């Protein structure tokens, strides 16, 4: 970080004294303006006799650009929830508590909220079978649940209440599958498990 004559405070104080030339504003980003002006201010600080830098940005634009530079590293590490096959949760799994049984998750779009805005949490459709898993199950044997993927894309909350379980059981993505609070882990099967689907469920994208 900047220290001494190049401290953030001294640069901001210098920005407040800059002459403003709105007519000369160039169509560049706030961040680009900030980089240019910070460099000019640094040179001016090293050479006290040098003329003050002529800015092509307004004070507001320069300060906004400086804020953008500070926020950039955090934004670069942001993770957004994905949908469809691009979501890590979409796929079919092995459940050690129900060997050979269907476990399917499909992540769809985010629903609309009562406020009219779209939720940041994509919805998921979960399907499975709990018994007679040595053969293709009948469609009537498949249970269906709903879930919600966290905005970070790193966890999923599944409503198991239709099966007598918790309403929002949290599953966290861990390496190659979903880890649940009781220690059980659904391990994702790379190529899916088509033989575990009912004949009417031809593909993972089928309803």
62-102 pLDDT, tens digit per residue, is 455 545 544 444 443 444 568 888 999 999 999 999 999 99
| pLDDT surpassing 70 at residue 42 | no
141-170 pLDDT, tens digit per residue, is 999 999 999 999 999 999 999 999 999 999
pLDDT category at 199 given cuts 50, 70, 90 is: confident
CB atoms within 10 A of CB 196: 21
What would the two tokens of residue 28 be?
């560049």
d(CA 137, CA 186): 20
Q: Which of 51-60, 111-120, 173-182, 190-199 has the lowest mean pLDDT?
A: 51-60
pLDDT at position 90, please? 96
pLDDT at position 28, please? 46
CB atoms within 10 A of CB 77: 6
d(CA 113, CA 191): 35
What would the two tokens of residue 17 be?
């004294």
Read off the pTM: 0.60
């Amino acid at each position: 970080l900047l220290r001494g004559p190049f401290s953030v405070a001294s640069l901001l104080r210098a920005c407040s004294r800059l002459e403003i030339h709105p007519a000369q504003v160039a169509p560049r980003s706030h961040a680009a303006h900030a980089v240019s002006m910070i460099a000019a201010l640094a040179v001016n600080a090293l050479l006290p006799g040098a003329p003050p830098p002529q800015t092509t940005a307004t004070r507001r634009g320069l300060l906004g650009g400086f804020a953008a530079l500070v926020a950039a590293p955090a934004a670069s590490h942001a993770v957004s929830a994905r949908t469809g096959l691009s979501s890590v949760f979409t796929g079919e799994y092995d459940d050690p508590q129900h060997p050979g049984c269907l476990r399917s998750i499909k992540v769809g779009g985010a629903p609309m909220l009562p406020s009219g805005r779209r939720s940041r949490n994509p919805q998921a459709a979960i399907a499975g079978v709990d018994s007679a898993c040595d053969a293709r199950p009948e469609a009537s044997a498949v249970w269906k649940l709903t879930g919600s993927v966290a905005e970070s894309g790193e966890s999923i909350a599944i409503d198991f209440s239709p099966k007598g379980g918790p309403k929002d059981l949290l599953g966290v993505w861990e390496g190659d599958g979903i880890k649940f609070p009781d220690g059980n882990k659904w391990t994702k099967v790379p190529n899916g498990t088509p033989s575990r689907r009912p004949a009417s469920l031809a593909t993972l994208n089928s309803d």
